[in-house]
Structure 1
Amino acid sequence: MSTVQPVHPTNKVKLAVFWLYVMVPLAWGVYNTLAQAMKLFQ
């Protein structure tokens, strides 16, 4: 009979740092894109 070994729990601090590393530049890019687009409609 095969037993599945549980995967090691994810380090929540590393996961949070990773998402910040991804989301901060993404949010900055979206903000700048929207700010530049608003100039076109004024």
Structure 2
Amino acid sequence: MSSPARDQQPTHTPAGLIAFAWALVGVPLAYGLFQTVKTAASLFTG
């Protein structure tokens, strides 16, 4: 009896789709981190 995972062929995701997905998550994340650092810096510098 063969396992189902052994019978499946690997799929290839286009590089553009991967880049789009990273940008979709990374841009808001970077903006949020920037705002957090900016706000925290103002707390410590006065």
Q: TM-score, normalised by structure 2?
A: 0.76
Which structure carries more helix by proportion? 2
CA RMSD in angstroms, aligned pairs only: 1.4
Q: TM-score, normalised by structure 1?
A: 0.82
Question: How many residues align structurally?
Answer: 42
| Greater Rg by CA | 2
Tell me how far 1:13 sits from its aligned partner.
0.6
Q: Which runs of 4+ in 1 moved over 6 A?
A: none
Tell me how far 1:8 sits from its aligned partner.
1.8
